[in-house]
Amino acid sequence: KMSSGTADLRQRKKQNCTESDKMAPEERNKENSKLGRSPKYMLIQRFAKLFFGCLAAVTSGMMYAVYLSTYHERKFWFSSRQELEREITFQGDSAIYYSFYKELLKAPSFERGVYELTHNNKTISLKTINAVQQMTLYPELIASVLYQASGSEEVIEPVYFYIGIVFGLQGIYVTALFVTSWVMSGTWLAGMLTVAWFIINRTDTTRIDYSIPSRENWALPYFACQVAALTGYLKKPLNCSAEKFCYLLVSASTYTFMMMWEYSHYLLFVQAVSLFLLDGFALAQTEKVHEVYKIYLFSLFLGYLLQFENSALLVSPLLSLVAALMLSKCLQMNVKKGTFMSRLLKIMYVYLVLTITVTLNFLLKMFVPHKENEHLLKFIEVKLGLNTTKNFTMNWLLCQESLQAPSQDFFLRLTQSSLLPFYILVLIICLFSVTQVIFRRICGEPLKETVKLEDGRIGERPEIVYHVIHTILLGCLAMCLEGMKYLWTPYVCMLAAFGVCSPELWMTLFKWLRLKAVHPILLALILSMAVPTIIGFSLWKE
């Protein structure tokens, strides 16, 4: 039954792809003939829009990377310092990562360097550890291989090569945010505004200024690429070639992100919860959401094998949640539609998923020996008041500024740059629209295949709903821990920029207001250009 069911599902997906590929050009040709434009003219216009948008995205990323390099040089007078003084500029515990990179370069061979790191007895007194696994040194392994393989020894110093890669990744980070906002809004003006807000609020969007080698600076650019690809993957209508490209990019970036940061699976867990809610409200194609779940499973097991059988990935809440979701889906597929049992499963779906997730995670922790990330779970328990401790390390962590609730200065900075007011406005409009769509779905009204501008239904677009849920979840975490703002604020920049530049969002608002004096579509198009332009001029003064 399962094999025939999956075969039918694949056949349906192929038919949908071919139908959408055939229908899309016909619909475009009809629209073009109505407007009196030839297909050739429209093709040139679309190509020019894509070319200049990509050029703006890449240029923004490159300029940001150059800006970081220049700023770092002027802040520390990096080129005029001795080698030891340069390493001291890597503040906090991040300097230890660079020391491992140096050890790899000093080793007689790469294999010998890796062996010494996997049998390290210098970091912890009287103890031999696998530093590659416990400290996630895969970025240093990659950087050392690239440095030696590219023959850069005679061209550039190791420290400049190392920080150059990190600054380059930050450029990719900004480019990915640009592309995400562009895909959502349909205009690369939103991407430019995202980058502007990101840079002006740099103290709250990134920690690159004072901890270059930290794991998040290596990992978050890949997560931003994954989010950009996922946005494109959820979007509809989408032709088959674009869907496959987005799927492959989601797969590659998810696995790479998981290899770069030991806490990556927790952030992916938050994303999986967002997708679960999106699918639970029936606002996205179930097949696409479950394909993403398969990517999570593949990345977890491949990561487990290549990270020296890292048991932290097996007891991860991400694995338990995805396994529960897949199992619940199998139960639903095996029960005949229209029966009492199928209706009961639909009603109990959320409860079933939560029960299986908690039970599975509890069983895995019982049978899988693990020590990694235990301190994180204990910290959460103490932070939420569920437990008390006399442990010095735990109490020291509770006193750290990054683990406290965000200060008023944080909200003042976001308000002064006009980011927070526009984010709240966009979020409220999107939330109300999504709520309307959910009520329509409960009443049995189907979703439209394509949402047009005049419909004023921005809440029917699955990629928008996903981002709204995702930013709310990340925002809740940022309200508890100030350190989480570095995950939340970049997506605040992206969502706010998308909203003010999107004619659909303004059209949704005007539909509710029932404007009659001015044509709502014309006003929506004007505001989607005028508002970001005004914001841009005000940010230029900043």
DSSP 51-79: HHHHHHHHHHHHHHHHHHHHHHHHHHTGG
Q: Give the span between the Cα atoms of 221 and 166, in whole angstroms.
A: 10
Do the beta carbons of residue 471 and residue 495 sit within 8 Å?
A: yes
Tokens representing 522 are: 């014309």
Q: What is the pLDDT of residue 9?
A: 46
List, in order, residues 6 or more apart from 455 with CB less than 8 Å away: 448, 507
Residue range 328-343, pLDDT digits in tens? 888 766 655 555 566 6
Torsion over CA: 211, 214, 219, 220 (sign)? negative
Tokens representing 429 are: 């409009």
Q: What is the pLDDT of residue 27?
A: 47
Q: What is the pLDDT of residue 523?
A: 72
Q: Give the span between the Cα atoms of 456 and 458, in whole angstroms.
A: 6
Report helix, strand or coil for 129: strand
110, 132, 148 from 142: Cα distances, Å? 11, 12, 10
Residue range 366-420, pLDDT digits in tens? 888 766 556 666 766 676 666 677 777 777 777 777 677 788 899 999 998 889 9
Q: What is the pLDDT of residue 22?
A: 47
Cis amide prior to 237 (ω within 30 degrees):
yes
Count CB atoms within 10 A of the CB of residue 346.
13
Q: What is the pLDDT of residue 364?
A: 86
Running along the chain, 542 residues long, what does each successive block of 10 average in pLDDT? 45 51 48 55 80 91 94 85 80 81 89 89 81 88 90 85 93 95 89 92 88 90 95 86 92 94 92 91 85 94 88 89 88 61 68 87 82 65 68 71 81 91 92 87 70 73 92 92 90 92 84 69 72 75 68
Q: What is the pLDDT of residue 535?
A: 78
Q: Give the span between the Cα atoms of 110 and 116, in whole angstroms.
A: 10
Q: Give the span between the Cα atoms of 179 and 269, in whole angstroms.
A: 23
Q: Under the phi-then-psi rule, with left for phi > 0, alpha for psi from -120 to 50, and beta for the rest, what region is 506?
A: alpha
DSSP 240-299: HHHHHHHHHHHHHHHHHHHHH-TTHHHHHHHHHHHHHHHHHTT-S-HHHHHHHHHHHHHH
Which H, E and C letters describe 322-352, residue by residue? HHHHHHHHHHHHHCCCCCHHHHHHHHCHHHH
Beta bridge partners of 129: 120
Q: Give the span between the Cα atoms of 231 and 462, in whole angstroms.
A: 9
Sequence length of the chain is: 542
Q: Give the span between the Cα atoms of 219 and 166, in whole angstroms.
A: 10
Do the beta carbons of residue 175 and residue 57 sit within 8 Å?
A: yes
Q: What is the pLDDT of residue 187?
A: 86
